[in-house]
């Protein structure tokens, strides 16, 4: 294919919180984004893919105290672990940082000053729940009590898991501190607010511009109907974060500096390289494209607060935000507190990353519904689709090429119509990748694999090999199988980068989208070696065993 006009894109994933390990729920988003990025790069677009750890907040401060180490030491250790996990899953980040950086501090201060200058910062005294034993104002998730609507006990201070109600921690009946177990008291404190209603008109226009997923836009418009409120962007000491320069004892709220971390991570990349301009991507009139992959639980922060910060400080807003649902395992929601989640490192100790990448791809679309990782289906789907259909196609074709034809493919395509069918699928498969409908892309790819295997079954090279004067026909048929395998692997390359790399070594060529229609005529391949082994039930059982015993807390 000929490349379209090359685009410049900046793509991010939501920042993992730096107080625990990466688990398979996190990996859905990073895999979805990585598949999309890899496809865009294969189309010749200039894509920068960045992320960082979200390293501030009360939970991190308290956990560091519990461990007896400084927050800085803790977040540094976790950052290394996170990067190792993402690397293990072949997430192709250009840069991975932390929000606790000098670049982020400088940008937060710059944006705060711009917001003040533009009259968007307001001061107001509020009442908050205070833990008298620990001498700390309590964040929503550090307060529990009875829901004031359905009276369910043991509910957090922001929403009820039983009836779904959202509320303030002060609405709870019989509230208690999660930290000390004591009953908190109300105390007043002067706080800094971002005047969200002041940029409401601009936000409304952006939300209605058609950029966002329809379901996301509709949800945001519901919040507009109920009325935008000023947003509290500070927290009281003690707190781990950036100090507010003109407010002693006050720190920027983690959700103020976390999204600015996208900008800081990109700025850090610009410093490391000489060919990228920060302003080109973040200037308010930027012609580049900015995409955020996020979970549905943080729509409010990314689609209201974040664009409001950007609008109020004269920086560009996102081109689009791609929202996904949660991951469940065997139909049950993952939960740290219940120990029902599998760490990325536990998975990687037993299985290839490509297995999960493929399964998530078969389940992913623009729909925001939750995705279930059914472990039985996971094993069967990968073994049938990839091992039985894709790998086996290469194996049974290569065996004759290796043994009878000195590893060299024939100089003809013996079935032009079948070959054209595979090449012509490029448009629809490419569109599915671009639209993030990877479930649709994988279905079409496996349909092609079925066609290829039916061709080999019908031609029966193992029977041809027994016939006299059949060398040319045998050579052409088996070479055709390799040609079709190559096309399938080009289509699968964004999803299965490790298998694609092994396939490139076997084929002695690069799997390039722009060379899709050019067959490997009279081309010498390498001797076939096992490209992938079947997933075994014992591997799954060991992962479950380790996850249940350790409970990953």
What's the CA gap between 163 and 153, in Å, rounded? 11
438 and 362 Cβ atoms separated by less than 8 Å: yes
Residue 165, pLDDT score? 79
Q: Which of 21, 39, 10, 26 is nearest to 294 (CA)?
A: 26
Q: Which of 540, 85, 108 is nearest to 548 (CA)?
A: 540
Backbone dihedral region for residue 136 (phi beyond 0: left; psi -120 to 50: alpha; all else: beta) = beta
Q: Which of 168, 185, 188 is nearest to 176 (CA)?
A: 185
273 and 291 Cβ atoms separated by less than 8 Å: no
What's the CA gap between 298 and 326, in Å, rounded? 12
Helices then strands, each counted (H, E), the chain: 21, 17
Ordered per-residue pLDDT tens for the chain, 553 residues: 444 689 999 999 999 999 999 999 999 999 999 999 999 999 999 999 999 999 999 999 999 999 999 999 999 999 999 999 999 999 999 999 999 999 999 999 999 999 999 999 999 999 999 999 999 999 888 999 999 999 999 999 988 888 877 788 999 999 999 999 999 999 999 999 999 999 999 999 999 888 788 888 888 888 888 888 999 999 999 999 999 998 999 999 999 999 999 999 999 999 999 899 999 999 999 999 999 999 999 998 999 999 999 999 999 999 999 999 999 998 887 655 444 579 999 999 999 999 999 999 999 999 999 999 999 999 999 999 999 999 999 999 999 999 999 999 999 999 999 999 999 999 999 999 999 999 999 999 999 999 999 999 999 999 999 999 899 999 999 999 999 999 999 999 999 999 999 999 999 999 999 999 999 999 999 999 999 999 999 999 999 888 875 544 4
Token pair of 80 as six digits: 């290394």
Q: What is the pTM of this model?
A: 0.94
CA angle 510, 513, 517 (to 5 degrees): 95
Token pair of 425 as six digits: 């699928």
Sign of the Cα torsion 488, 494, 498, 501 reads positive
Token pair of 367 as six digits: 């729909």
Sign of the Cα torsion 24, 25, 30, 36 reads positive
HSE (side-chain half, CA atoms, 13 Å) at 179: 22
Residue 549, pLDDT score? 57
> Could you give the domains of the chain?
1-120+196-231+252-324 (3.40.50.620), 121-194 (2.170.220.10), 389-515 (1.10.730.10)
Cis (ω within 30 of 0) for the bond into 125?
no
């Amino acid at each position: 294919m000929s490349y379209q006009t090359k685009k410049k894109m900046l793509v991010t994933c939501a920042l993992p919180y730096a107080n625990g390990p990466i688990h398979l729920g996190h990996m859905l988003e990073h895999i979805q984004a990585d598949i999309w990025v890899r496809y865009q790069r294969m189309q010749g677009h200039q894509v920068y893919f960045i992320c960082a750890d979200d390293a501030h907040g009360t939970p991190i401060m308290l956990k560091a105290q519990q461990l007896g180490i400084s927050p800085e030491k803790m977040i540094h250790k976790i950052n290394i672990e996170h990067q190792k996990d993402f690397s293990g899953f072949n997430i192709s980040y250009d840069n991975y940082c932390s929000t606790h950086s000098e670049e982020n501090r400088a940008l937060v201060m710059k944006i705060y000053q711009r917001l003040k200058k533009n009259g968007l910062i307001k001061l107001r005294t509020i009442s908050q729940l205070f833990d008298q034993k620990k001498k700390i104002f309590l964040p929503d998730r550090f307060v529990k009590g009875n829901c004031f609507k359905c009276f369910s006990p043991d509910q957090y201070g922001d929403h009820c898991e039983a009836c779904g109600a959202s509320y303030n921690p002060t609405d709870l009946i019989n509230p208690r501190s999660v930290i000390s177990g004591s009953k908190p008291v109300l105390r007043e404190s002067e706080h800094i607010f971002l005047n969200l209603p002041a940029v409401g008109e601009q936000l409304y226009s952006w939300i209605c511009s058609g950029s966002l997923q329809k379901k996301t836009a509709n949800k945001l418009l519901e919040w507009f109907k109920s009325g935008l409120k000023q947003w509290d962007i500070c927290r009281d000491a003690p707190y781990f974060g950036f100090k507010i320069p003109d407010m002693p004892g006050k720190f920027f709220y983690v959700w103020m500096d976390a999204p600015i971390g996208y900008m800081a991570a990109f700025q850090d990349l610009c410093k490391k390289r000489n060919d990228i301009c920060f302003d080109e991507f973040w200037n308010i009139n930027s012609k580049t494209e900015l995409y955020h992959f996020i979970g549905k639980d943080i729509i409010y922060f990314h689609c209201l607060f974040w664009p409001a910060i950007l609008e109020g400080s004269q920086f560009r807003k996102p081109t689009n935000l791609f929202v996904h649902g949660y991951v469940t395992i065997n139909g049950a929601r993952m939960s740290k507190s219940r120990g029902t989640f599998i760490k990325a490192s536990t998975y990687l100790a037993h299985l290839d990353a490509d297995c999960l990448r493929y399964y998530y791809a078969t389940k992913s679309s623009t729909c925001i519904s939750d995705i279930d990782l059914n472990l039985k289906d996971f094993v069967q789907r990968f073994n049938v689709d990839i091992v039985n259909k894709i790998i086996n196609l290469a194996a049974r074709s290569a065996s004759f090429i290796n043994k009878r034809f000195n590893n060299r493919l024939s100089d003809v395509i013996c079935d032009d119509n079948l070959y054209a069918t595979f090449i012509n699928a490029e448009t629809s498969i490419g569109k599915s990748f671009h639209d993030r409908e990877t479930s649709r892309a994988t279905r079409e790819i496996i349909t092609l694999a079925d066609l290829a295997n039916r061709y080999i079954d019908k031609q029966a090279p193992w029977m041809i090999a027994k016939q006299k004067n059949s060398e040319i026909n045998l050579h052409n048929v088996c070479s055709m199988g390799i040609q079709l395998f190559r096309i399938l692997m080009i289509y699968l390359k964004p999803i299965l980068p490790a298998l694609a790399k092994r396939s490139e070594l076997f084929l002695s060529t690069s799997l390039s989208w722009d060379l899709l229609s050019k067959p490997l005529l009279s081309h010498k391949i390498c001797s076939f070696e096992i490209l992938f082994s079947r997933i075994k039930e014992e591997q799954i059982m060991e992962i479950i065993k380790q996850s249940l015993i350790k409970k990953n807390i």
